[in-house]
């Protein structure tokens, strides 16, 4: 773990992308936890489905995008550790992809909560 942090902190693009990704995921989680009690039991999560009851899901499903983005961040960080020496630009793209996924997750959760409340 200590070696991973040392390796990530060498490249500032990867370091700041990873830190911002973690911060945005924590912000998303805090947003869900803060408003969880005031959310209705069913919320519109599946916006690509036809209009009606199919678009609704239990409010606990609001945590799934956060979990999936966290898994993506962990996989990209682990992959970065192993291929950094050979493909620096690829590892930077992986870390920026994690940052964008975290940002999109935060926007999705904030907009969903804003529409409901």
Q: What is the pLDDT along the chain (117 residues), one digit of tens a residue?
A: 677 777 778 889 999 999 999 999 999 999 999 999 999 999 988 888 888 888 899 999 999 999 999 999 999 999 998 898 899 999 999 999 999 999 999 999 999 999 888
- CA terminus-to-terminus distance, the chain: 41
pLDDT at position 99: 97
User: Quick one: which of 57, 63, 56 has its CA closest to 28?
Assistant: 63
pLDDT at position 113: 94
- Other Cβ atoms within 10 Å of 5 Cβ, number: 10
Q: For residue 87, what are its two tokens?
A: 């493909």
């Amino acid at each position: 773990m200590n070696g991973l942090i040392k390796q990530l902190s060498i490249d500032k693009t990867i370091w700041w992308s990873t830190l911002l990704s973690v911060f945005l995921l924590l912000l998303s989680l805090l947003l869900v936890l803060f408003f969880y009690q005031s959310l209705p039991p069913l919320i519109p999560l599946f916006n690509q489905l036809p209009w009606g009851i199919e678009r609704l899901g239990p409010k606990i499903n609001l945590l799934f995008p956060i979990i999936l983005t966290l898994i993506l961040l962990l996989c990209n960080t682990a992959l970065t550790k192993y291929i950094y020496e050979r493909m620096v630009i690829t590892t930077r793209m992986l870390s920026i992809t994690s940052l964008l996924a975290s940002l999109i997750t935060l926007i999705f959760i904030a907009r969903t909560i804003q529409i409901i409340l």
